[in-house]
Copies of this chain bind each other. A is one copy, B any other.
């Protein structure tokens, strides 16, 4: 059996209050008693129970992280960053893969509340605003990472998706491409929407248009669907010479479609991804992509959410980081 504060108190011949004092470094304890108590704690290998502590109204030292799928490399990286920063502050991380499924989101959110986590970090694209706000109302700190709640007054640490979209377009435009297409995630995913908006605006400024039929959305299995959608794009009479993919998975699908169809990348087709996951360095050719500073984002959300606990900030904090174009080998000048 695990030792409790009572065991320590008894062994040390003091009250549990005294033990509690030394655990928390509060109150006044004579150096001698304190030393003795510490000795006993070590001898009994005593570690205070977090659940008992939590019940008295203190922290649970647990954070919840909602992501679409932890086995998606991008979110795995986000999770690692969040985990590390949390661990740095003594917190542990509960992972919740939602598959962007409303029901799963609801169940997980409810679960996290019942566990009285000290904060919930949301990286899932599709969430019900009311649900989230009902959580905030219960004064549980909530923050978004890599995603934003449209119209919601929720803290968020995101990358400038719009700027990222522009970057991708500019890069492609600079390379001489004009027939551009887009592979996007589900239409409800705000980050994809923003990326496309930036991409389109940049095109517009160059006097180009991005018709809707050249923007294809994919849902569950991003690589597979991306591949299928890319293949479809390639079959158009006036085939696009470059595709901007709203994430690396989609880009890989495009890459595979091209390979299967005998379309050379980047000679015949340029591809730009988004996220700069480990996958981009593994493909052949390696993927040009827009990088998100995942580690920094992880650090920032955690600090943000942990800070929220203390002071009740009035306005939602919205931290926008700059994306970065990473040029690798999947993009090239348009061949004449």
Seen from chain A, the residues whose Cβ lies within 8 Å of a Cβ on chain B are 1-2, 47-52, 54-55, 60-62, 64, 69-73, 76-77, 79-80, 83-84, 87, 92-97, 107-108, 110-116, 138-139, 223, 252, 259, 278-279, 281-284
Contact = CB atoms under 8 A, between A and B. Distances in A.
A50 B95 contact: no
B83 A97 contact: yes
A31 B114 CA distance: 27
B71 A71 contact: no
A51 B54 contact: yes
Given A92-B96, A94-B92, A48 B80 contact: no
10 contacts: A1-B139, A50-B115, A69-B80, A70-B83, A71-B278, A83-B95, A92-B94, A259-B284, A279-B279, A279-B282
B92 A111 contact: yes
Kindly report how many copies of this chain are found in the complex they form together. 2
Nearest to A252: B282
Contacts of A70: 70, 76, 79-80, 83, 95
A95 B97 contact: no
A80 B71 contact: yes
Given A62-B94, A80-B71, A97-B84, A113 B47 contact: yes
A252 B294 CA distance: 23
Contact of A80 (B83, B97, B110, B112): B97
Given A49-B114, A55-B55, A223-B281, 5 more contacts: A50-B115, A51-B54, A61-B115, A92-B111, A92-B112
Contacts of A115: 50-51, 61-62, 92
A70 B113 CA distance: 24
A63 to B, nearest CB: 10
Contact of A51 (B51, B79, B278): B51
A75 to B, nearest CB: 8
